Amino acid sequence: MIGWKNQVRDRLIVVFYVVILLFLIIGYRLISLQIFQHDLYKSKAESQHKGTITIPALRGSIMDRKYVVLANSLALTSITADPTLIKDRHKTAVLLSQILGDSEEVLESKLSAATRFVWIARKLDDDKVKKIMKLELPGIFTMKETTGKRFYPKGELASHILGCTGIDDQGLDGIEAVMDSYLKGKPGKMTAEMDLVGRLIPGGISSLVNATSGYNVVLTIDESIQYIVETALEKAVKAYGADTGSVLVMDAKTGEILALANKPDYKSKDPKSPDYMQLTRNSIVTDAYEPGSTFKVVLAAAALDSGKVGMNDQIQCGDTIQAGGWTLHNANDGFGGNATETITDIIAYSFNTGSVAMGLRMGSKIFYDYIVKFGFGDITGIELPGETEGILPPLKDWSEINLATISFGQGIAVTPLQIVSAVQGSINNGEQMQPRIIRQILDSEGNIVKDFKPEIKSRPISKETSYKINMILRNVVESGTGKKARIPGYLVGGKSGTANVVENGMYAKGKYIASFVGFAPAEDPKFVMLVKIKNPKGTIWGGTVSGPIFSEIGREILWRLGIPPSFPNEVNQMGADPSKNN
């Protein structure tokens, strides 16, 4: 009995020690796993149940001055494929083609790629995504994009201002490119534990960096004025059979751009067409041209402000004038001058000979200094890409013939923006404002981040000279070459210009740029506008071609701005533009 008991006790002791040993082994293993190999197993575990999710950040909106949305982004889903998991590539391609509208061959070649990831369609509408996912095709997946898709709800409106974005919502042109750093958001990142079906496990977020939405950019342009301008310009370019047309409208007091348009537009064109790249250019700022007689505004301002020419001075103004060994003529536009004329009539009838005489009277140095003061030969600094400074020959290269030709706007190349800015400075008490197209930058809650206030860029001429220029330019429209730019009921000032088109460094035969730059109402200008038509068919003169376009657009703008006419009876007698009554 005792022997049996001892045997049991011994066995118990053995079992006890075995259990202790097992516990020690387990303990060692636990210590090894938990302490010595902690990092290794922690990372393995995390890789199995933790995931990093990129939180999309939407690009900010672009709005007009009244906060009308012109561009906005939406977060969309893309369709991807793992070709190795697809059983029937042809069938899959056919089914996808029916929904996506892409060709079956293209889709099938994508699905046959020797890779485990291919994009099938980027940033699709939710409806299409749902339809595709309903098919439950093996190897076809959805992927939420970290950037949105850009939409332009107004279609082609202001396309040269807005520009465009790439597939990843990055700015490529226009405001989209210039303001990209403000517009683009910053995607966030979240690391969290997830369950089997990919849902977040509550409380399992280990790190979170919130996404920051892009700022909204408010432009100075007015949607309704932009629409008026684009509609009228498109109609005019077609009517004159012109190559291109451009219109720029600037607030006469602040320098803010109210509308800017180039036609034909590129958005409706095939990107593969040969002239597509040319049409994408915002020629208002990127292309310099010879301004022709519109540059006489600068000449007159410089002549009067320098005191070299007085309002009542009689200036030589025959049919021809000699300069630098060359004989220069007046344009054959039907306006004949006397032997001498005042500055008012020289500008009103756009006499080249009188202009040359004024230029010669001033001399190169004075004229050049005023040209520089008005900002020619340098970029204006507007927030648009690709701005050119134009071509202003250095003073040392000016001969007498250069002085003479520049006096009537040849031998110098300027951008439409530079001309409009110079005229704005000429009629705004001599205060040339910094041209602007950005008004405000707002955060996603609508708070103002940056406010761009109007600022004076320079004072090229005195207030008194500015009044004189205003009067001279009124006279152009009342009795000179700009009669067709009159707006019934309002006082208008302006200057027409006709210049040769330069192609490959030479004047192209029979090709002209007809332009008109003006402002209204002349007694208290609200806007300055340039209309520029390249190579119109039929008539070529700036006052005849661009004047009526200025009148049509100007009338609508004044009505839209709520500016009452100075002569209501004139409006009542003349009525509206008959061309609108269709």
Partner 1 sequence: MKLIEMTKDRKMDKKPVFKATANKTEDVVVVSRYAVILTSFTILLITLMSIFYVGICAQNVKSQYNLSRLKEQKANLEKTKLALKLEVSRLNSLERIETIARKELGMAHPPNRLVIDMRNPSVLRASIEDVVAIESYYDEELTSN
> In angstroms, rounded to a whole number, what is the distance separating the alpha carbons of residues 248 and 226?
10
The yes or no reply on residue 184 touching partner 1 (CB under 8 A) is: no
Residue among 49, 66, 91, 199 that touches partner 1 (CB under 8 A)? 199
Binding track over 29-68 against partner 1, x by CB under 8 A: -----------------------------x---------x
Q: DSSP letter string over 176-228?
A: HHHTHHHHS-B-EEEEEEE-TTSPEEEEEEEEEE--BPPPEEEES--HHHHHH
Can residue 69 be called a binding residue for partner 1 (CB under 8 A)? yes
| Nearer Cβ to partner 1 (473/513) | 473
How far, in whole angstroms, is CA 116 from its chain's centroid? 40
SS3 296: helix
133 belongs to the binding site for partner 1 (CB under 8 A): no
**Distance of alpha carbon 567 from its chain centroid, rounded?**
37
Distance CA 136, CA 95 (A): 11
Q: Which of 3, 101, 198, 203 binds partner 1 (CB under 8 A)?
A: 203
CB 434 → partner 1: shortest distance, Å? 28
Nearest residue to 469 (alpha-carbon basis) of 432, 423, 415, 527: 423
Which of 59, 60, 72, 216 is the binder for partner 1 (CB under 8 A)? 72
What is the Cα–Cα distance from 180 to 533, expressed in whole angstroms? Answer: 32
Q: Which residue from 245, 377, 489, 554 is in contact with partner 1, where contact means CB under 8 A? A: 489
Our CB check for partner 1 shows the closer of 489 and 525 to be 489
- Tell whether residue 431 is a contact of partner 1 (CB under 8 A): no
* Closest distance to partner 1 from the beta carbon of 474 (Å): 6
Chain centroid to Cα 475, Å, comes to 35
248-277 residues in contact with partner 1 (CB under 8 A) are: none
CB of 580 to partner 1, least distance (A): 4
Q: Give the position of tokens 């393995």.
A: 44
Q: Give me the 548-567 binding string for partner 1, x by CB under 8 A, dash otherwise.
A: -----------x----xxxx
Provide, rounded to whole angstroms, the least separation between the CB of residue 333 and partner 1. 23
Do 343 and 313 meet the contact criterion of CB atoms below 8 Å apart?
yes
In the set 73, 78, 283, 293, the catalytic residue is: 293
Query: What DSSP assignment string belongs to 445-486?
Result: TS-EEEE----EEE--S-HHHHHHHHHHHHHHHHHSTTGGG-
Q: Name which of 333, 331, 395, 335 is nearest 366 in CA terms.
A: 395
Per CB under 8 A, 205 contacts partner 1: no
Distance CA(258)–CA(482), nearest Å, equals: 23
Q: Say whether 515 sits in a helix, a strand or coil.
A: strand
The answer to whether 159 and 265 have CB atoms below 8 angstroms apart is yes
Give the binding-site size for partner 1 (rule: CB under 8 A): 46
Q: Restricting to residues 505-534, which ones interact with partner 1 according to CB under 8 A? A: 523
> Is 61 annotated as catalytic?
no
- Catalytic machinery residues: 293
Catalog residues that contact partner 1 under the rule CB under 8 A: 58, 68-69, 72, 74-75, 151, 153-155, 157, 199-200, 202-203, 223-224, 227, 231, 311, 464, 467-468, 471, 474-475, 478, 489, 491, 523, 559, 564-569, 571-572, 575-578, 580-582
